[in-house]
Structure 1
Amino acid sequence: MGSSADRRFPAAVYRHGGEPDPRFTLANERTILAWIRTALALIAGGVALEVLGLDLHPQLRLAASILLIVTGIVTPVVAWIGWARSERAMRLAAPLPGSLLAPVIAVAVTIAGLLVLIAALL
């Protein structure tokens, strides 16, 4: 019978190093869940922007909606990668990696906001 690391998913994370302090693992889990909530908000915002049919320039409104929705779709995937990188680093007592998501979401939301602003002004 294999070790508990062999039965945990993803094995690519859990087969490395030792068990970190559970508080850190749980904090890492809360972080990925926060990114998933952010993804849901981005998708909902993109859908609402388009479905409400606000009196905005239609192509710019659609571009902002698509940008928000695509960012919302990509966010959980990148969050999962970040979770795995952080969990592996903690298991190896290595420095934690930097965030991949924060700059991407900051740029996407800024661009979407500028698109909506320009659409409102036209």
Structure 2
Amino acid sequence: MTAEPPDQEPDYRFTLANERTFLAWIRTALGLLAAGVAVRQFVPPFAVAGATTVLALACILLAALIAATSFPRWRRAQQAMRAGAALPLSPMVGVLAAGVLLLALIGAVLVVAG
């Protein structure tokens, strides 16, 4: 049976970079939340009934998902750095890219539709 090596404090620059990444995810979530509220409050109704509400909710739900997963992502990266392991991959990068692309496509279709 081999003993696991003790956790080591990572170089502070890596810890701070990990924190900046976490804060970037939080800023993204806040931006999407603000966009959802703005769409609901300030965008005139589209030709499709309820489309403004759907677009606003999609922004808000994506913001909630990003906010909910950002801290666990930060913690996993911090633990990996302490253990000297490879940084874990996050499916949220793809989820965020796909979510923003979907929001853009829905918005474009609604604008063109009238």
Q: Which interval holds the TM-score relative to the shorter structure?
A: 0.7 to 0.9
> Size of the alignment, in residue pairs?
107
- The CA distance in 1 between the partners of 2:69 and 2:78, in whole Å, is 14
TM-score (norm 1): 0.80
The equivalent residue for 1:120 is 111
Letter in 1 for 2:8: G
Q: Which runs of 5+ in 2 are unaligned?
A: 1-5
TM-score (norm 2): 0.85
Q: What is the root-mean-square deviation of aligned Cα atoms in Å?
A: 1.5
The equivalent residue for 1:46 is 36
The Cα of 1:69 is off from its aligned counterpart by 0.4
For residues 30-81 of structure 1, give each alpha carbon's deviation from its aligned partner in whole angstroms, at most 9, with x where no partner exists.
Answer: 1101110110000001111111132423422221211110111121221111
Match of 2:99 among 94, 101, 108: 108
The equivalent residue for 1:79 is 70
The answer to whether the Cα contact below 8 Å between 1:46 and 1:66 also exists between their aligned partners in 2 is: yes
Moved over 4 A (4+): none
The answer to whether the Cα contact below 8 Å between 1:39 and 1:73 also exists between their aligned partners in 2 is: yes
The equivalent residue for 2:50 is 59
Letter in 2 for 1:29: E
Letter in 2 for 1:31: T
* Percent identity for Structure 1 against Structure 2: 36
The answer to whether the Cα contact below 8 Å between 2:45 and 2:51 also exists between their aligned partners in 1 is: no
